[in-house]
Structure 1
Amino acid sequence: MSILRDILYKVTINKVVGSTGVSVKNIQFDSRKVADNDVFVAIKGTLSDGHQYIDVALTNGAVVVVCEVLPKKLADHITYVEVEDTSAALAFMAANFYYNPSENIKLIGVTGTNGKTTVTSLLYQLFKKAGFKVGLISTVKILVDDQLYPATHTTPDSLTINYYLNLMCEAGVEFCFMEVSSHGIHQNRTKGLLFTGGIFTNLTHDHLDYHKTFAAYRDVKKAFFDQLPKTAFALTNVDDKNGLLMLQNTAAKKYTYALKSYANYRAQILENQFEGLMLKINDNEVWSKLIGAFNAYNLLAIYATADLLGMETFETLRLISELESVSGRFQYTISEEKVTAIVDYAHTPDALKNVLETINSIRTNNETLITVVGCGGDRDKTKRPEMGKIAAYLSNQVIFTSDNPRTENPDQIIKDIEAGVEPQHYKKVLSILDRKQAIKAACQMCKPGDIILVAGKGHETYQEISGERFDFDDFKIVKEFLKALQK
C-alpha cells in the first residue's frame, strides 16, 4: 500500500476534495481494472474519455479519483484530485508509485521516424555482449535482462514503463534502451522519467493522421529533447534537416553524428553489399553484418552512444562486428535457385525509399526486383500515394496488396496507393488484395538471381482485418513459397 500524498509528488494540482493521507493499493486508468482501494485516473483519450467511467471505477472499489473536471455529484468518503492534465499526472504518479526507477538506471531514449527499433535493439545486444545487465523497451519486445515480455505499443503507457523499469532495477539492470514514439511524448507517457541520454535518428512523413501537420509532428519529437536534464546527453543526426532543431532548446550536453556533414561522430561507407557493410567510423574501420546506408546511420548512432556511456573504442568496434540484424529489418533469405527474398518493416515513404535504394545500390541490375507492399488502414492516408510512387519508380515490378487494413476497406487503400504511380510505370504494377497470394505471385514471377522485397510488416506475425488478428508472418510465408517452387 502507498500513501496518496506520496504518489502525488510533482503533480500539478488545482483542487483536492477529501484526504491525501488515504492508503491506496494500485493506480489504474482503465475503470474495468479497478479493484478495492485503487486510484482511478480519468484520461481523455483519442477514442474515449475516462471521465465518463468514474462511476464504474467507484463501483469497482476506487477510493481516489484523479480528474481534470470534478463530477457534479461527489461521492462520500472518496478523495477527488483535480489536476491540470491527467496524462501528465498519471506519468508522475506511476514513477512515484514504483519508487522512481529511472533514477536508478541509465535510461536512453531513442526517437525519430525510422531506426528506433534497430538502434534500441542493437544497443541492447551490444551492451549484453559486453557483459552488462541490460533492459529493452521496444516495438518488438520488452526485455528485463534475459526475461522476455510481449510489447503492445512502441512506447507503453506510464504505468507499464515504470513497472518494467522497476523490475529492471530489482534485477540489477544497469542500462535500458527505450523507443520513444511521438504518440508517447504527446500523451505524456515519458514524463517523470529521468533520461541519461536521448538519440534522434531522422524525421520523415508519418503519423499525420494523429499529429495533423508535419510541423506538429516535428515539434513533439523536439519536446523530448527540450525535457532532457543537463546531466543527460542529446545525440542527433545532423544529416537530417531537422537534426539541429532537436538540440535548439535542450539543457543536455549536445553531440552530433553524420555521414555527410561535419559532426562529433562521422562515418564513411567503404563497402556496401548483401554480405554487409564496411564502415570507417572516426578513422577506425569496422565490418558489420548489417546492410545499407540507413544501417550505417544506425551503427554510427550505436557507436556514439556506447562512447558517450563510457565504453572503450576498440571494444565497441569489436562488438559492432558481431551484431545480428533485428527481426523484420532487412531480414533476408536466399533460395536454392538464388532468389533473394528480403522482408522489411518499411511502412513510411522514406523507409521504403531507403530499402529500395539500398537494394538497387548493391544489385547488378541484371536481375528483376519485385516489390510487394501495402499500407495500413486507419492510419495516415496521405503517405499512401507516396508509397505507391516510390515503389513503382524504384522497382522493376510491383504488387500492391493489403497490409493491416484494420477497419478500412482494403480495396480503397490499394486505390489510394495506386493513385501515386506515375503513368510511365503503370505497366509495372499489379494489385492483389490477398497478401499471401501477392507474395506467392511474386515468388512465381522470379527467375534465378531475382530479388523480392516484402515491405511494411517486418517483424509482425499477424494481419489485422476488420478488427480481428490472424496469424501472418511475411518471412515464414515467402520462405515457404520459395521452397515449394524448388520441388
Structure 2
Amino acid sequence: MIQLKRLLENLEYDCIQGNEDITVESVIYDSRKVISQSLFVCIKGTAVDGHKFADEVVEKGAVVLIVEETVDVPEHITVIKVKDTRYALAVISAAYFDHPAQKLKTIGITGTKGKTTTTYMVKSILENAGYKVGLIGTIEAIIGNEVIPANNTTPESYIVQEYFSKMVEAGCDAVVMEVSSQGLMMHRTAGFVFDFGIFTNIEPDHIGPNEHKDFEEYMECKGLLFQQCKIGIVNCDDKHFEKVIENHTCKLETFGISTNADLQADNIEFTVEKGILGVTYDLKGLLECQVAVDIPGTFSVYNSLTAIAICRHFKVPVEKMKKALKAAKVKGRIEMVKVSDDFTLMIDYAHNAMSLESLLSSLKAYQPTRLVCLFGCGGDRSKLRRYEMGEVSGKLADLTVITSDNPRTEEPQAIIDDIKIGMAKTDGKYVEISDRKEAIRYAIEHGQKGDIIVLAGKGHEDYQEINGVKYSLDERVLIQEILEEISR
C-alpha cells in the first residue's frame, strides 16, 4: 500500500472530490485490470477514452480516479483533476516505483534512424567496460537475463518505470533506451530527467492521421527530449539539428563529420574483407584514436560516433570502446550472415522506401559486382509503399528478387504485382519467387564473387503472418537450412 499524497507530490492537481489522505494498492490505466483499492488513470486514447469507464472501475474497486474532465461517481471516491492524465500517469508511476531512474544512469536516444543500432552499441561498450546495462527499444527490453519482446519503441510510462525498477533490482548501473517522438508527445518518458539525451538525425517520417500532423510537429516532439535531460549530445551534421534543439534546457555537445563537431570522424574508409563489409575512421576532438566497425555505410560511422560520444562520459578506456564496437552486432539491422568468402549476405529491417534507399545507396559505395535486393511488402498496408519500394530497388539494385513478406489477409501474388508496378518505372532486372525460403535459396545459389545480397524487410522478425496466423519464419534459420540442403 502507498499513500496517495506521496504519488501526487510532484504533480499539479485539484482534489475535486473525496479524501487525499488514503492509501492505494496499485496504479492502473487499463480498466480490465482494475482490482480493489486501485488508483485508476483515465487516459484519452486514440480509440478509447478511459473517462467512459469511470462507473465500471469504481464497481471493480477503484478508490481514486485521475481525470481531465468531470466524471459522475459516488461521493466517497477520490477524484483528482489534472491538466493531462498521460503526464500524470508518468509522474505517478515514477513515485509508485520509488523513482528508480534516480538510481540509474539514464540514456535516451531519439532520431528517425540509428536509434536501435546505437542502443546496442552503447550496451556493448558499457558492458565490455564492466557496467551492467538495461535496454528498452524497438526489438525488445533487456533486464539482466530477462528479454521481453517489444510492442512499442517507447512503452507506456508505467511500463518504463516498472522496467527501471526491475533493472535496479537486477543490479543495473545504467539503462539505454530508444525514445520515439510519439513517446515524447505522449509523455511516456515524463516523471524523470535523463542523464543523457541524444539526437541522431531527422527525416520526414511518422507523419499521418495517427502520428504527427506535419514535419514541424515531428521536429518539435523530438526536441522535447532536450528539455528533459542534463546533457544533450546531438548530430550537428543534420540540417534540422538547430530546430530540434531550439528550446533546449540542457548542456550541449556535438558529434559529426564536419570540422566544427566536438567529436569528429575524419578520413573515413569503407572496407571489405572475406565477405564482411565495414568502415574505419580517425576520431578527432574530445577523443583521438582510429575506429573500425564491422557494419557498413556512412550511417555506421554516425552510429558508432554517437555511442562513443555517450560512453566517454562513463570513463570507458578508448581500447575497450574500440574492441566493443568491433564486436557489436544488432539482430536484423545490417546483420551480416557468413555464407561465403566470395560474396556478402545480410539481413536488414528496411521495410519502406526511405530506409531501403538509404541502405542500398550506402552499399553501392562498396562497388559490388552486383547489388542484389530481396524483399516483399506487408499485406493490409498502403499500396503506395509497394510502388515506392519497387521503384527504389529497380533503380539501385542490379537484381531484385521479389518475394513475400507478411501477406496478412492479402494474396501474396497481388502484393508482388503491386511491387512490379513500381519496378516498371525503372530498367531494373527482377525475378519473382513468392515462397520466401525459395527466394533466399535462389539468391544464395546465384551469388557471384563480389556480390552484396540484401534480404530486406523482415529484420529481427521471426515469423510470417498469413490470414491472422503467425508462422515461424526466421531468415537465419532458413539460411542454415538452405546451406545444409545445398551441401547435401
TM-score, reference length from structure 1: 0.89
User: Distance in 2 between the 1:35 and 1:374 partners?
Assistant: 45
Residues 379 and 58 of structure 1: is their aligned pair in 2 closer, same or farther, counting only changes over 3 Å? farther
How many angstroms does 1:415 deviate by?
Answer: 5.7
Task: Report if aligned partners of 2:125, 2:320 keep a CA contact under 8 Å in 1.
Answer: no
Aligned positions of 1:31-110 closer than 5 A = 31-71=31-71, 73-110=72-109
Aligned positions of 1:405-424 closer than 5 A = 405-406=407-408, 417-421=419-423, 423-424=425-426
Aligned to 2:131: 132
Deviations, residues 321-378 of structure 1 (Å, cap 9, x unaligned): 3x3211111112233584532101123434322322332222442xx33212234456
Secondary structure of the residue aligned to 1:307 is: helix
Aligned to 2:297: 292
How many angstroms does 1:62 deviate by?
Answer: 1.5
User: Distance in 1 between the 2:234 and 2:289 partners?
Assistant: 21
How many angstroms does 1:241 deviate by?
Answer: 1.4
Task: Report if aligned partners of 2:293, 2:300 keep a CA contact under 8 Å in 1.
Answer: no
Deviations, residues 370-401 of structure 1 (Å, cap 9, x unaligned): 21223445667765544332222111122334
Identify which of 357, 362, 366 aligns with 1:358.
362
Deviates more, 1:373-382 or 1:27-36: 373-382
Deviations, residues 248-277 of structure 1 (Å, cap 9, x unaligned): 211111111112452111113134322532
Residues 177 and 342 of structure 1: is their aligned pair in 2 closer, same or farther, counting only changes over 3 Å? same
Amino acid at match of 1:186: M
Aligned to 1:310: 315
Residues 369 and 275 of structure 1: is their aligned pair in 2 closer, same or farther, counting only changes over 3 Å? closer
User: Distance in 2 between the 1:68 and 1:407 partners?
Assistant: 39
Deviations, residues 91-148 of structure 1 (Å, cap 9, x unaligned): 1111111111112211010011111111111111111110112211122222224443
How many angstroms does 1:437 deviate by?
Answer: 4.5
Aligned to 2:24: 24
User: Distance in 2 between the 1:257 and 1:477 partners?
Assistant: 39
Task: Report if aligned partners of 1:238, 1:256 keep a CA contact under 8 Å in 2.
Answer: yes
Aligned to 2:455: 454
Secondary structure of the residue aligned to 1:355 is: helix
Task: Report if aligned partners of 2:120, 2:328 keep a CA contact under 8 Å in 1.
Answer: no
Task: Report if aligned partners of 1:336, 1:486 keep a CA contact under 8 Å in 2.
Answer: no
Amino acid at match of 1:161: V
Aligned to 1:252: 250
Deviates more, 1:377-386 or 1:215-224: 377-386
Question: Are residue 394 (structure 1) and residue 404 (structure 2) matched?
Answer: no
User: Distance in 2 between the 1:129 and 1:146 partners?
Assistant: 16
Amino acid at match of 1:474: E
User: Distance in 1 between the 2:111 and 2:343 partners?
Assistant: 33
Residues 331 and 58 of structure 1: is their aligned pair in 2 closer, same or farther, counting only changes over 3 Å? same
Give ranges in structure 1 of 5+ residues lacking alignment.
Answer: none
How many angstroms does 1:180 deviate by?
Answer: 0.5
Amino acid at match of 2:242: L
Aligned to 2:405: 403
User: Distance in 2 between the 1:421 and 1:215 partners?
Assistant: 32
How many angstroms does 1:54 deviate by?
Answer: 2.8
How many angstroms does 1:179 deviate by?
Answer: 0.7
Deviations, residues 68-99 of structure 1 (Å, cap 9, x unaligned): 2222x313432222222111111111111111
Give ranges in structure 2 of 5+ residues lacking alignment.
Answer: none
User: Distance in 2 between the 1:483 and 1:205 partners?
Assistant: 43
Secondary structure of the residue aligned to 2:62 is: coil
Aligned to 1:161: 160
Aligned positions of 1:263-302 closer than 5 A = 263-268=261-266, 269-273=268-272, 274-282=276-284, 283-302=288-307
Task: Report if aligned partners of 1:341, 1:453 keep a CA contact under 8 Å in 2.
Answer: yes
TM-score, reference length from structure 2: 0.89
User: Distance in 2 between the 1:375 and 1:213 partners?
Assistant: 25
Q: How many residues align?
A: 479
User: Distance in 2 between the 1:13 and 1:171 partners?
Assistant: 34
Question: Are residue 223 (structure 1) and residue 224 (structure 2) matched?
Answer: yes
Aligned positions of 1:193-204 closer than 5 A = 193-204=192-203
Secondary structure of the residue aligned to 2:176 is: strand
Aligned to 1:480: 481
User: Distance in 2 between the 1:379 and 1:41 partners?
Assistant: 33
Amino acid at match of 1:477: L
Task: Report if aligned partners of 1:14, 1:84 keep a CA contact under 8 Å in 2.
Answer: no
Question: Are residue 184 (structure 1) and residue 179 (structure 2) matched?
Answer: no
User: Distance in 1 between the 2:419 and 2:220 partners?
Assistant: 28
User: Distance in 2 between the 1:447 and 1:469 partners?
Assistant: 34
Amino acid at match of 1:9: E
Secondary structure of the residue aligned to 1:88 is: helix
Task: Report if aligned partners of 1:34, 1:60 keep a CA contact under 8 Å in 2.
Answer: yes
Aligned to 2:8: 8
Aligned to 1:118: 117
Task: Report if aligned partners of 2:394, 2:426 keep a CA contact under 8 Å in 1.
Answer: no
How many angstroms does 1:292 deviate by?
Answer: 2.1
Residues 83 and 410 of structure 1: is their aligned pair in 2 closer, same or farther, counting only changes over 3 Å? farther
Residues 22 and 15 of structure 1: is their aligned pair in 2 closer, same or farther, counting only changes over 3 Å? closer
User: Distance in 1 between the 2:25 and 2:410 partners?
Assistant: 41
Secondary structure of the residue aligned to 1:362 is: coil
Deviations, residues 383-435 of structure 1 (Å, cap 9, x unaligned): 5544332222111122334434556776665566545446332x524455554
Residues 190 and 149 of structure 1: is their aligned pair in 2 closer, same or farther, counting only changes over 3 Å? same
Secondary structure of the residue aligned to 1:469 is: strand
Residues 275 and 430 of structure 1: is their aligned pair in 2 closer, same or farther, counting only changes over 3 Å? closer
Deviates more, 1:411-420 or 1:236-245: 411-420
> Considering only aligned residues, what root-mean-square deviation do their CA atoms show, in Å?
2.6
Residues 113 and 416 of structure 1: is their aligned pair in 2 closer, same or farther, counting only changes over 3 Å? farther
Aligned to 2:440: 439
User: Distance in 2 between the 1:444 and 1:312 partners?
Assistant: 44
